[in-house]
Every structure is written in structure tokens, then in C-alpha cells.
């Protein structure tokens, strides 16, 4: 999910997998896969940057702590 801002300054989260197209008009117009359209304050470049950051974050290996077996347990 990426955070965007409507023209009335209302912030919202958008599932970036639903974005079909981003048009650069005087405002940034996002068309979703269901043909719904959203006007946002962010530039098309900023929308793209946020999508890339989000996807990198969910694909990055997590830093999970190493789990050691309890003493006396069989591995």
C-alpha cells in the first residue's frame, strides 16, 4: 500500500497492484483496474517512486532473529 493525497489534502492508502495507468495532466490522474479514477497531489514520478519503495520493502529479506533449538532437543 502506498500513501497518497487527494486534491482536498485528504491522505489515503492505495493498493498499488490496482493501478493500471498514471496520466500526467495538470494534476496526476491514476486509473485503477476497475476504471475508477483518482486525482492526487503527488507527481507521477513520486507515485512511481512510492510504488518502487513499497515493492522493494516487501521483497527485501527480513532480518529475523536466529532461532536456536532448546537444550536437549533433537534437531
**DSSP bridge partners of 28:** 24, 40
pLDDT value of position 69: 61
pLDDT value of position 32: 98
Q: What is the CA radius of gyration of the chain?
A: 19
pLDDT value of position 60: 75
Q: What's the burial of 51, exposed, middle or buried (CB within 10 Å: 0-12/13-18/19+)?
A: middle
Domain limits, the chain = 2-59
- Burial state string for 7-44 with b = 16 or more CB within 10 A and e = fewer than 16: eeeeeeebebeebeebeeeeebebeeeeeeebebebee
Which tens digits make up the pLDDT trace of 26-69?
999 999 999 999 999 999 999 999 999 999 998 877 665 565 66
Residue 73 confidence (pLDDT) above 60:
no
Amino acid at each position: 500500500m502506498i500513501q497518497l493525497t487527494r486534491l482536498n489534502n485528504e491522505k489515503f492508502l492505495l493498493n498499488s497492484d490496482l493501478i493500471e495507468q498514471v496520466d500526467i495532466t495538470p494534476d496526476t490522474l491514476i486509473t485503477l483496474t476497475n476504471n475508477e479514477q483518482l486525482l492526487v497531489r503527488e507527481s507521477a514520478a513520486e507515485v512511481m517512486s512510492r510504488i518502487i519503495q513499497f515493492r522493494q520493502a516487501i521483497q527485501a529479506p527480513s532480518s529475523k532473529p536466529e532461532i536456536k533449538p532448546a537444550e536437549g532437543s533433537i534437531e
